[in-house]
Structure 1
Amino acid sequence: MRLERAVDDFVVQLASERGLSANTAKAYRSDLDALAAFAGGRGAHDTSDLDLELLRDWLWQDSRSGLAKSTIARRSAAARGLTAWLAREGHTTADAGARLRAPKADQHLPRVLTRSQVDGILDSLAALAATGDPVAVRDVALIELLYASALRVGELVGLDLGSLDRSRLTVRVTGKGSKDRVVPFGVPALRAIDEYLATARPKLAARNSAEETTAIFLGARGKRINSRTVYQLVASLLADLPGTGPAGPHALRHTAATHLLDGGADLRAVQELLGHASLGTTQLYTHVSAARLKDTYRVAHPRA
């Protein structure tokens, strides 16, 4: 079987059987296309040409080219998934990637804002919204909900009007693997959303007379807001704040999760809120909380 054809069939199977998101399927295809290109350069064009040595050489080249350990680990996982599938389907006599290993990804603690920083961001947005600008009113509701519910940016932009349950202060989202979950939010977020829906969304929707949309959050032209716009908004809000690490919407998700744990929330409850399949993923935030505690201790304790 030609390797390119195998990659196509494998990715399609993954998407249909495991319900992968478009971004995850795209990442698998990108990694495996890179493997196919590397194998082709070695004269290996068929699935039967794949062996452990070739796979190791591919990852070694990636390492030499400066790719991050996390990227190499992801590529290793994609290759192992492909070779395991090829063996199960009978396209190869053995699983060439069964013993393939990759370096462990570096553990970087996510960026977490302080409560005063979050308050400052929301206060500055509220001041802009007081001018009546519909985009500014939208931004208050958007950031309030991101922080209140720790949503992924893809979940946020995919929200429809029917997703919102005002009486129960919850929103239904579709997360990774097309899995639905119900996420709570607070009264400040509800107030901001109500203001946006009553005064700003109709003005934004009127800018797009060609079609109606059920999206909660609209862009400046009246269509469903996209992830890039949300990234740009959050990045602009975090640009002048001290701290290192990514400055996109995930920083607010990290912040919300850490603040919940700092406030005494149960780890499994936070796992459910975030939509993590594994508790181990959520446990990263316990490390963040511990790191914050140590920083506070070093600053505050006289004998630290």
Structure 2
Amino acid sequence: MASNPVHLVKKPAVQKRLPEFFREDAMKEYFSSTSGVMEFGSMDAKRRRMIVSLLYNTGIRLSELLSLKRNSMDFHRRVLRVVGKGDKTREIPLLPSLCDEILLYLQSQDSLKCADTSDGSPLVQTSSGRALYPMFVERVIRKELGDVGGGIGGRKSPHVLRHTIATELLDHGTDLNSIKEMLGHSSLAATQVYTHNSIERLKKVYTNAHPRAKNGGKNGD
């Protein structure tokens, strides 16, 4: 046979799996139900809430959370310095409420006998004053989000929290370049996947822009 007819057959398109994310109202419920933890909760509860809060509010990767040091925080400027992939450093702006939460957590952590309070020590530590490790954080996320309103459905992981805040920021009008910088993506293509992620955003755009949607679905003016 002079030629191979198989090369004419096109491979079926492989559909990329879209990032999973939690519902915005579910995350609001979590933070509402744990709002008093930093002042009145146990040290373990404070640590769990701090882990979820950092991952959700900043969108950092699990590896980036594990590498955070006390001197990664700049409370005066309200920014978090993160060392990401390729040892690239970026700064993430922090809400005043998150800065207050981190300060409350550090006060409690520093009161522990075995706490490491040096500048280069882990920002969030285990009860023995050591750095967090991946399985520890994974367990925390499953426990914390599994307890909300009967449990948040779907896979629970640090990366899903990263997808969640990226999707929420996009839904609320944040431009892709800003989200790219916050997440530490090397290219805009990696961030653009979130534009396909939320049907709610598509519904809002459709409702606000479509001529018939503006007049209740009636034809004419």
CA RMSD in angstroms comes to: 2.9
Q: Give runs of aligned pairs for residues 150-299 of structure 1, distance below 5 A.
A: 150-198=59-107, 200-204=108-112, 206-207=113-114, 214-239=121-146, 240-244=150-154, 246-289=155-198, 291-293=199-201
Distance 1:212 1:285 in 2: 36
What is the match of residue 209 of structure 2? Answer: none
Q: Which has the higher contact order (CA 8 A, sep 6+)?
A: 2
Distance 1:212 1:293 in 2: 42
For structure 1, the 5+ residue unaligned runs are: 1-101
Change beyond 3 A, Cα 1:113–1:170: same
Q: Which moved more, 1:116-125 or 1:128-137?
A: 128-137
Please state which structure has a larger fraction of its residues in helix.
1
Q: SS at the partner of 2:21?
A: coil
Distance 2:26 2:125 in 1: 26
For structure 2, the 5+ residue unaligned runs are: 1-10, 206-212
Distance 1:135 1:208 in 2: 14
**Aligned residue type for 2:151:** L
What is the match of residue 135 of structure 1? Answer: 44
| Post-superposition CA distance 1:36-78 (Å, at most 9, x none) | xxxxxxxxxxxxxxxxxxxxxxxxxxxxxxxxxxxxxxxxxxx
| Post-superposition CA distance 1:224-260 (Å, at most 9, x none) | 111211111111223343443x310111111111111
Distance 1:265 1:252 in 2: 17
* Offset of residue 148 of structure 1: 1.2
Matched pairs, number: 195
Q: Which moved more, 1:135-144 or 1:260-269?
A: 135-144
Change beyond 3 A, Cα 1:277–1:251: same
2:57 to 126, 148, 155: 148
* Offset of residue 287 of structure 1: 0.7
**Aligned residue type for 2:25:** S
8 A Cα contact 1:145 1:185, kept in partner = no
Change beyond 3 A, Cα 1:111–1:269: same
Distance 2:54 2:110 in 1: 19
Change beyond 3 A, Cα 1:247–1:222: same
Distance 2:40 2:183 in 1: 34
Change beyond 3 A, Cα 1:166–1:238: same
**Aligned residue type for 2:129:** G
**Aligned residue type for 1:219:** T
Normalised by the length of structure 2, the TM-score is 0.77
Q: SS at the partner of 1:220?
A: coil
* Offset of residue 138 of structure 1: 2.3
Distance 2:37 2:188 in 1: 39
8 A Cα contact 1:219 1:225, kept in partner = yes
Q: Which moved more, 1:102-111 or 1:137-146?
A: 102-111
Distance 2:203 2:139 in 1: 30
Distance 2:12 2:131 in 1: 40
**Aligned residue type for 1:182:** E
8 A Cα contact 2:38 2:104, kept in partner = no
Distance 2:115 2:106 in 1: 16
Change beyond 3 A, Cα 1:103–1:237: farther
8 A Cα contact 2:72 2:82, kept in partner = yes
What is the match of residue 6 of structure 2? Answer: none
Distance 1:194 1:208 in 2: 15
* Offset of residue 103 of structure 1: 8.2
Change beyond 3 A, Cα 1:223–1:242: closer
Q: SS at the partner of 2:160?
A: helix
Change beyond 3 A, Cα 1:219–1:106: farther
Distance 2:92 2:141 in 1: 21
Distance 2:67 2:14 in 1: 30
Normalised by the length of structure 1, the TM-score is 0.57
